[in-house]
């Protein structure tokens, strides 16, 4: 008897192929079937639907990605085979075989043989399908694994009443191409096309959105009682708009589109008012920012609120001025050559003047910012920090009138801030383990990209870009 | 036979050692004469008053500390409640299954996580994962599942023993048997099947809380994979999964390392709690207010001092509260330590005011201003003179009169706070900053941030007033005392001490009799060799030739004195060596002149000093092959 064909949208061919290749009768079905298709192309859905439509075909389902390595995979194959059979035929009793023994293919065979042996009393021989969903997602995948599974049926006696058959669901084409010579019947799931996605999502999501509580509550709040068709129209418009806005970002990934839709639905509903509920265009305009960002960040909520006071307050949760200047100094240390230091930072003109201070004026091949940060000793950091830290800031200078231009010296605070930067991993040490932080041997480097350092420098109005002009070609 | 002890060997290979000295709790006695305080007023203060000063300080200190402890404890309670509220949330209610995500910002990964509602239908299991334990997904999964199993078994064992006492044994046994039967049937392995079959195994629902410690140090790829792996557990029935991520840096840093799909997954149901105490001004405000309450009506804070607090707190973003407490505590201590008038904070002590206290009183700037005013207003000279010379103890009376006068600033502060919080609903203000602006008379400028304050302008208006003798009762950062002692310069202090050994060494005591020629001669005669070498070191260029260095060192030492010293040291009549030592010394000196001996002494000092410099990190041997040159490691004036 032929298997029933599952009805999955745009997967008619694949469903038909499945119903041909998978059957409860061992004589009518090949021992291995491979299903290949990219992420969210409906593989799992189709196979699940297929088994739902054909309850006479026994099957068990495994997710190799959860099992991480091949050993637990083997153990789980053994275990799920035996437990599936036990639930299918509770009348056949035998002492349990420990599935954990299946530590290798040889042991797996032994366990399987011992288990399947018991079912020789059955009258009719049947298939038991083991579905390995996402076979290539196994974390520690090696190339030997699939062939071993493919050949498993040859090792088991063919006169067993229970015949094991395997279905491998695989994403990666390149992985499959390595086994093309095995001639395994494969079903390919192509990616959905744009129109197909739209239709699938419309069909699946419209009802969910129309019946969603948020929409009802909002509509009641507006004091309206529109017809069902209005609800439908709202939901449909929303789905279409999201697909159009984000299709270029997600590609034909239904799951991603689905997630984005769900995450924005609430704020979309909130913008519904009595005025715009009947006018899709007005509704679209009222929440246009929904379509301009994907919204998959953790932080955007914080950015809007609570920044007004904290910016200049003493106890804001951000880097202190000392930390910022230390970080700037560290950046300069890492990306400027030491030989330019006297020219750039010295306040004594005779040290600055001329080529004598830093040798030949050959420009660098590349912008130093594109290179790896170079290492520097702590002394250099502190001296550049001293050079760039603004003199006469705060109340410190007020009290000592006699030392008007006292430079910032590294007191305990500076060291505290350095330690903080280090623990934030903004400034790193050259070696990570067993570090003696005050040792002169220790070298440091900055661990911050240009984008962040410019942000920091602009927050203290320090033009760091100026230090990097004219250094390279 | 000797065996190599591995621990000893490892110990010997260490480049550095960590010594944690036990903190000795200073025994605080209030017995007379043994207080840590000393007599002031050039030693004329009575021992009674010193003791009273000490007791008074002690009272205020303990009072303040009790309040601070209270505040700190409250912080922890607040936090714990907040966390467990988030974790206790029902997640299954939302239509799509999602992780219950909690981001702890600014966390040092020590936050205590506990679940309040332990119900009978559910087992709560907290699994801690550190970056070290999580090199890859396999290890993470195995570790966490192992922990899940062990803690579930232990909690279940605990509950069955309870039931055993209540119900008869048979039932419990039955129960156990069932469990083991089911377990054998399903098999237990350390992977997600354990979570999947949890209900079947333990007959209870599961709330699984993953506590990722120090998330910044995780391999983000592994973390991402692990979260994705857990995704399928969302679909198991009666299983809830909470993810707690302890984040040191910031959210965007974590976010950029995760896949977008993972971010979307986590974002479905996520909460952010900022653990750092200094988020907002709440706790710092409370601490400062409690300090003001402690010294209320007694002490004033100078605007320089409050400005100093503000500046230092701005410089330290992470341990604000501790810093604030430290500064306030230190200021209180130093005030009581050095101000003899502090004792009069308790007005009952004013009966002990005697003539020793009067001279500093007269020199008070506010008092002199007052006298100035009297002169300008043509007060009778007799009145003025009687005040200045304390005829009929008029000055004393005058002082007592002002002693009980209140500074209106604290009262007004309470008024402003009341208006801000209760009338305007503003809570996000910095109390210390507010106080600073009040002291400097710029309250309006501070309040300009909230335009709605204008309605209350008439009651909020405030002008700071000067009270006579207030400088005697003011906490001040005078002469930069606090900046020096709380935030010392590390390097410059070291350098200065090496140049000027008098700064740290006790002054030489000139004893009249010539009892001990050794020490006397050496101490008075020359500075420490280390200091001599350092003054040379300062002059040298970054690479130092050791021989040149030695020659210069030899030149700078006062050779004549050393020769004299050596001669007297070797004089058998003058020194106090016993016969054996004397014989040894003679043996050493046999073939050498006095000059040779001194040269040797200098050489020994030099080598010793250079190696000491290497130890403390001022010099480094240039490289392994050349021993002639050493290199400076520090730069001056940092």
Quick: pLDDT tens for A89-139.
887 776 666 777 778 888 888 888 888 888 888 888 888 999 999 888 888
Quick: pLDDT tens for A340-353.
777 778 776 665 55
Residue B289, domain member (yes or no): yes
Q: How far apart are CA B470 and CA B370, in angstroms?
A: 12
Nearest-CA distance B38 → chain A (Å): 28
Give chain B positions within 8 Å (CB) of A140.
Answer: 138
Are B608 and B573 in a shared domain? yes
- A416 at B interface, C-beta within 8 A: yes
Residue A45 · residue A235 · CB < 8 Å = no
pLDDT of residue B538 exceeding 50: yes
pLDDT of residue A398 exceeding 60: no
Q: What's the pLDDT score for residue A410?
A: 77
Say which residue, A270 or B24, is predicted with more confidence. A270
Q: Band of the pLDDT at B414, cuts 50, 70, 90? A: confident
- Any idea which residue has 């007023």 for tokens? B41
pLDDT of residue B581 exceeding 90: no
Residue B433, domain member (yes or no): no
Residue B104, domain member (yes or no): yes
Helix axes B529-539, B594-616, angle to 10 degrees: 70
Q: What is the mean pLDDT of residues A420-438?
A: 82
Q: Where are the domains of chain A?
A: 12-189, 194-297, 321-468
Average pLDDT, chain B: 78
Q: What's the pLDDT score for residue A330?
A: 92
Q: How far apart are CA B165 and CA B181, in angstroms?
A: 23
Q: Which of A459-463, B222-226, B350-354 has the lowest mean pLDDT?
A: B350-354
Are B514 and B574 in a shared domain? yes
pLDDT of residue A405 exceeding 60: no
Chains A & B: contacts with CB separation below 8 Å = 185
| Torsions phi, psi for B112 (to 5 deg) | -80, 125
pLDDT of residue A361 exceeding 80: no
Average pLDDT, chain A: 81
Residue B83, domain member (yes or no): no
CATH value at residue B214? 3.40.50
Say which residue, B106 or A6, is predicted with more confidence. A6
Q: What is the mean pLDDT of residues B426-442?
A: 84
Q: What is the mean pLDDT of residues B356-367?
A: 80
Residue contact B279–A317, C-beta within 8 A:
yes
- B314 at A interface, C-beta within 8 A: yes
Are B153 and B260 in a shared domain? yes
Residue B375, domain member (yes or no): yes
Q: What's the pLDDT score for residue B574?
A: 64
State the residue range of the domain holding B588.
491-632
Are B251 and B300 in a shared domain? no
Are B296 and B397 in a shared domain? yes
Backbone CA torsion sign across A428, A429, A431, A433: negative
Say which residue, A323 or A367, is predicted with more confidence. A323
Both structure tokens of A382:
């502190």
- B196 at A interface, C-beta within 8 A: no
Quick: pLDDT tens for A137-193.
888 788 888 998 998 888 888 888 888 999 999 998 898 888 888 888 999 999 888
SS3 letters across chain A = CCCCCCCCCCCHHHHHHHHHHCCCCHHHCCCEEEEEECCCCCHHHHHHHHHHHCCCCEEEEECHHHHCCHHHHHHHHHHHHHHHHHHHCCCCCCCCCCHHHCCCHHHHHHHHHHHHHHHHHCCCCEEEEEEEECHHHCCCCCCCHHHHHHCHHHHCCCCCCEEEEEEEEECCHHHHHCCHHHCCCEEEECCCCHHHHHHHHHHHHHHHHHCCHHHHHHHHHCCCCCCHHHHHHHHHHHHHHHHHHHHHHHCCCHHHHHHHHHHHHHHHHHCCCCCCCCCHHHHHHHCHHHHCCCCCCCCHHHHHCCCCCCCCCCCCCCCCHHHHHHHHHHHHHHHCCHHHHHHHHCCCHHHHCCHHHCCCCCCECCCHHHCCCCCECHHHHHHHHHHHCCCCCCCHHHHCCCCCCCCCCCEHHHHHHHHHHHHCCCEEECCCCCCCCCCCCCCEEECCCHHHHHHHHHHCCCCCHHHHCCCEC
| DSSP character at residue B363 | T
Q: Which of A180-194, B224-238, B371-385 has the highest mean pLDDT?
A: A180-194
Q: Which 400-429 residues of chain B touch chain A by CB within 8 A?
A: 428-429
For residue A392, count other CB atoms closer than 10 A to its CB. Answer: 10
Nearest CA-CA partner of B485 in B359, B327, B310:
B327
Q: What's the pLDDT score for residue A399?
A: 47
pLDDT of residue B404 exceeding 90: no
Q: How far apart are CA B243 and CA B609, in angstroms?
A: 57
Say which residue, B91 or B531, is predicted with more confidence. B531
- B94 at A interface, C-beta within 8 A: no
Say which residue, B159 or B378, is predicted with more confidence. B378
pLDDT of residue B24 exceeding 80: no
Q: Band of the pLDDT at B622, cuts 50, 70, 90? A: low
Report the greatest alpha carbon distance in chain B: 109
Q: What's the pLDDT score for residue B29?
A: 52
SS3 letters across B264-288 = HHHHCCEEEEECCCCCCCHHHHHHH
Q: How far apart are CA B465 and CA B444, in angstroms?
A: 16
pLDDT of residue B32 exceeding 80: no
Distances (CA, A) of B431 to A203, B421, B425, B442, B455: 58, 12, 15, 14, 21
Are B559 and B605 in a shared domain? yes
Q: Which residues pair with B270 in a beta bridge?
A: B101
Q: What is the mean pLDDT of residues B624-630?
A: 73
Q: What is the mean pLDDT of residues B259-280?
A: 78
pLDDT of residue B72 exceeding 90: no
In terms of CA atoms, which chain B residue is nearest residue A414?
Answer: B315
Give chain A positions within 8 Å (CB) of B248.
Answer: 423-425
Nearest CA-CA partner of B280 in A418, A304, A313, A423:
A313
Q: How far apart are CA B480 and CA B334, in angstroms?
A: 12
Give chain A positions within 8 Å (CB) of B276.
Answer: 317
Residue A416 · residue A319 · CB < 8 Å = no
Q: What's the pLDDT score for residue A131?
A: 93
Q: What's the pLDDT score for residue B181?
A: 47
Nearest-CA distance A299 → chain B (Å): 6
Quick: pLDDT tens for B145-180.
888 888 888 877 765 544 444 433 333 344 444 444
Q: What's the pLDDT score for residue A32?
A: 92
Give chain A positions within 8 Å (CB) of B428.
Answer: 306, 309-310
User: What's the complex ipTM?
Assistant: 0.74
Nearest CA-CA partner of A22 in A40, A47, A42:
A47
Q: What's the pLDDT score for residue A354?
A: 58
Which of B105, B314, B431, B432 is the best substitution to test chain A (most A C-beta atoms within 10 A)? B314
Select from 2.60.120.10, 3.40.50.620, 3.40.190.170, 3.40.50.300 the CATH code of A12-189. Answer: 3.40.50.300
Quick: pLDDT tens for A272-285.
887 777 888 888 88
Q: Which of A13-27, B82-96, B128-142, B515-529 has the lowest mean pLDDT?
A: B515-529
Distances (CA, A) of B500 to A440, B65, B491, B504, B523: 24, 39, 14, 8, 14
Nearest CA-CA partner of A141 in B138, B223, B258, B194:
B138
Q: Which residues pair with A472 in a beta bridge?
A: A364
pLDDT of residue A377 exceeding 60: yes
Distances (CA, A) of A405 to A293, A346, A382: 49, 15, 17
Are B43 and B106 in a shared domain? no
Q: What is the mean pLDDT of residues B408-435?
A: 83
Residue B585 · residue B570 · CB < 8 Å = yes
Distances (CA, A) of B102 to B12, B140, B216, B274, B615: 45, 19, 15, 10, 48
Say which residue, A226 or B261, is predicted with more confidence. B261
Nearest CA-CA partner of B119 in B86, B90, B99, B81:
B90
Q: What's the pLDDT score for residue B318?
A: 67
- A93 at B interface, C-beta within 8 A: no
* C-alpha radius of gyration, chain A, whole number: 34
- B252 at A interface, C-beta within 8 A: yes
Are B157 and B257 in a shared domain? yes
Q: What's the pLDDT score for residue B252?
A: 75
Point out the domain boundary residue: B236, B268, B300. B268
Q: How far apart are CA B629 and CA B623, in angstroms?
A: 9
Are B262 and B291 in a shared domain? no
Q: Which residues pair with B274 in a beta bridge?
A: B105
Give chain A positions within 8 Å (CB) of B487.
Answer: 411-413
Both structure tokens of B91:
């997640």
Are B103 and B54 in a shared domain? no
Angle at B199 between CA B196 and CA B205, to 5 degrees: 105
Q: What's the pLDDT score for residue A299?
A: 63
- B284 at A interface, C-beta within 8 A: yes
Helix extents (H) in B419-469? 431-439, 443-447, 457-460
The number of domains in chain B is 3
For residue B638, give the nearest of A75, A409, A425 by CB distance.
A409
% of chain B surpassing 90 pLDDT: 1
Q: How far apart are CA A145 and CA A165, in angstroms?
A: 16
Q: What's the pLDDT score for residue B287?
A: 87
Residue B224, domain member (yes or no): yes
- Sheet hosting strand A32-37, strand order edge to edge: A58-62, A126-133, A162-170, A32-37, A186-189
Quick: pLDDT tens for A206-256.
888 888 888 888 888 887 777 778 888 888 888 888 888 888 888 888 888
Residue B81, domain member (yes or no): no
Residue B153, domain member (yes or no): yes
Are B56 and B118 in a shared domain? no
Q: What is the mean pLDDT of residues B8-35?
A: 69
Q: Which residues pair with B543 in a beta bridge?
A: B631
Q: How far apart are CA B532 and CA B501, in angstroms?
A: 10
- A82 at B interface, C-beta within 8 A: no
Q: How far apart are CA A435 and CA A442, in angstroms?
A: 8
Angle at A132 between CA A129 and CA A135, to 5 degrees: 150
Are B233 and B346 in a shared domain? no
Point out the domain boundary residue: B245, B268, B291. B268
Q: What's the pLDDT score for residue A188?
A: 92
């Amino acid at each position: 008897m032929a298997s029933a064909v599952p009805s999955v949208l745009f997967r008619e061919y694949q469903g038909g192929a499945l119903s041909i290749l998978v059957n409860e009768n061992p004589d009518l079905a090949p021992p291995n079937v491979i299903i290949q298709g990219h992420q969210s192309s409906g593989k799992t859905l189709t196979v699940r639907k297929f088994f739902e439509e054909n309850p006479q075909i026994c099957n068990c389902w495994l997710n190799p990605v959860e099992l991480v390595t091949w050993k637990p995979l083997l153990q789980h194959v053994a275990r799920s085979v035996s437990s599936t059979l036990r639930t299918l035929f509770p009348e056949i009793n035998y002492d349990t075989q420990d599935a954990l023994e299946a530590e290798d293919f040889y042991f797996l065979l032994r366990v399987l043989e011992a288990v399947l042996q018991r079912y020789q009393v059955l009258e009719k021989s049947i298939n038991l399908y083991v579905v390995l969903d996402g076979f290539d997602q196994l974390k520690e995948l090696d190339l030997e694994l699939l062939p071993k599974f493919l050949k498993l049926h040859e090792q088991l006696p063919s006169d067993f009443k229970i015949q094991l058959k395997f279905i491998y669901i695989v994403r990666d084409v390149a992985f499959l191409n390595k086994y093309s010579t095995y001639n395994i019947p494969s079903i390919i799931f192509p990616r959905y096309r744009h129109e197909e996605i739209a239709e699938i999502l419309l069909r699946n999501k419209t009802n969910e959105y129309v019946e969603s509580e948020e929409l009802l509550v909002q509509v009641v709040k507006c004091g309206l009682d529109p017809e069902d068709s209005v609800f439908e129209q709202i939901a449909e418009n929303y789905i279409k708009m999201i697909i159009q806005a984000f299709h270029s970002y997600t590609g034909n990934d239904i799951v991603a589109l689905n997630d984005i839709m769900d995450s924005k639905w609430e704020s979309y509903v909130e913008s519904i008012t009595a005025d715009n509920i009947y006018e899709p265009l007005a509704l679209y305009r009222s929440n246009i920012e929904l379509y301009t960002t994907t919204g998959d960040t953790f932080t955007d909520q914080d950015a809007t609120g609570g920044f007004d006071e904290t910016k200049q307050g003493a106890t804001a949760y951000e880097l202190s001025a000392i930390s910022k200047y230390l970080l700037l100094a560290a950046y300069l240390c890492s990306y400027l050559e030491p030989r330019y230091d006297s020219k750039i930072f010295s306040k004594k003109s005779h040290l600055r003047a001329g080529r004598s201070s830093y040798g030949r004026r050959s420009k660098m091949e590349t912008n130093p910012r594109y290179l790896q940060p170079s290492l520097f000793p702590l002394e250099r950091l502190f001296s550049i920090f001293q050079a760039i830290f603004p003199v006469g800031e705060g109340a410190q200078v007020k009290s000592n009138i006699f030392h008007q231009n006292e430079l910032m010296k590294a007191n305990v605070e500076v060291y505290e801030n350095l330690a903080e930067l280090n623990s934030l991993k903004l400034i790193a040490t050259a070696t990570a383990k067993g570090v003696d932080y005050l040792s002169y041997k220790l070298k440091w480097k900055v661990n911050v990209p240009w984008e962040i350092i410019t942000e920091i420098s602009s927050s203290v109005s320090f033009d760091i870009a100026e230090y990097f002009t004219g250094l390279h070609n | 036979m000797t065996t190599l002890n591995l621990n000893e060997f490892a110990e010997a290979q260490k480049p550095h050692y960590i010594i944690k000295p036990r903190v000795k709790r200073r025994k605080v006695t209030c017995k007379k004469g043994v207080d840590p305080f000393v007599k002031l007023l050039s030693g004329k203060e009575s021992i009674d008053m010193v003791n009273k000063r000490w007791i008074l300080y002690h009272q205020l200190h303990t009072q303040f500390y009790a309040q601070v402890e209270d505040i700190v404890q409250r912080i922890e309670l607040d936090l714990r409640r907040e966390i467990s509220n988030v974790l206790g949330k029902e997640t299954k209610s939302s239509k799509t299954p999602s992780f219950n995500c909690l981001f702890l910002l600014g966390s040092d990964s020590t936050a205590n996580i506990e679940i309040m509602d332990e119900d009978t239908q559910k087992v709560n299991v907290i699994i801690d994962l550190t970056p070290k334990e999580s090199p890859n997904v396999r290890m993470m999964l195995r570790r966490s599942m192992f922990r899940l199993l062990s803690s579930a078994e232990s909690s279940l064992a605990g509950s069955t023993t309870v039931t055993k006492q209540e119900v008869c044994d048979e039932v419990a046994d039955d129960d156990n048997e069932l469990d083991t039967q089911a377990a054998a049937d399903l098999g237990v392995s350390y992977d997600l099947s354990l979570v999947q079959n949890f209900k079947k195994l333990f007959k209870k629902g599961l709330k699984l809380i993953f506590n990722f410690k120090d998330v910044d140090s995780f391999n983000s790829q592994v973390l991402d994979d692990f979260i994705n792996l857990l995704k399928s557990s969302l679909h198991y029935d009666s299983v809830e999964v909470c993810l707690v991520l302890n984040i040191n840096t910031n959210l965007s840093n974590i976010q950029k390392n995760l896949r977008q799909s993972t971010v979307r997954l986590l974002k479905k149901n996520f909460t952010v709690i900022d653990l750092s105490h200094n988020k907002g001004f709440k706790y710092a405000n409370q601490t400062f207010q409690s300090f003001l309450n402690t010294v209320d009506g007694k002490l004033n804070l100078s605007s320089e001092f409050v400005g100093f607090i503000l500046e230092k707190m701005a410089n330290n973003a992470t341990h604000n509260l501790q810093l604030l407490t430290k500064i306030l505590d230190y200021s209180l201590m130093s005030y009581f330590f050095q101000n003899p008038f502090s004792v009069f904070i308790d007005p009952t002590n004013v009966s002990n005011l005697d003539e020793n206290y009067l001279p500093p009183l007269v020199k008070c700037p506010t008092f002199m201003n007052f006298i100035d005013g009297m002169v300008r207003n043509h007060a009778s000279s007799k009145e003025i003179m009687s005040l200045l010379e304390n005829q009929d103890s008029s000055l004393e009376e005058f002082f007592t009169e002002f002693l009980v006068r209140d500074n209106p600033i604290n009262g007004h502060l309470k008024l402003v706070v009341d208006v801000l919080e209760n009338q305007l609903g503003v809570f996000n203000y910095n109390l210390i900053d507010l106080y600073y602006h009040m002291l400097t008379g710029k309250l309006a400028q501070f309040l300009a941030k909230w335009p709605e304050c204008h309605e209350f302008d008439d009651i909020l208006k405030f002008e700071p007033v000067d009270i006579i003798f207030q400088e005697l009762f003011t906490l001040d950062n005078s002469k930069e005392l606090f900046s020096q002692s709380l935030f010392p310069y590390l390097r410059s202090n070291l350098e200065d001490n090496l140049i000027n050994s008098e700064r740290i060494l006790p002054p030489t005591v000139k004893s009249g009799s010539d009892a001990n020629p050794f020490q006397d001669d050496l101490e008075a005669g020359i500075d420490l060799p280390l200091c001599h070498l350092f003054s040379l070191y300062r002059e040298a260029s970054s690479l130092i030739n050791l021989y040149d260095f030695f020659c210069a060192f030899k030149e700078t030492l006062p050779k004549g004195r050393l020769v004299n010293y050596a001669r007297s040291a070797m004089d058998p009549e003058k020194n106090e060596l016993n016969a054996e030592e004397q014989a040894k010394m003679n043996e050493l000196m046999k073939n050498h002149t006095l000059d040779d001996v001194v040269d040797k002494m200098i050489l020994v000092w030099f080598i010793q000093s250079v190696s000491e410099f290497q130890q403390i990190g001022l010099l480094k041997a240039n490289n392994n092959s050349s021993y002639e040159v050493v290199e400076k490691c520090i730069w001056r004036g940092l």
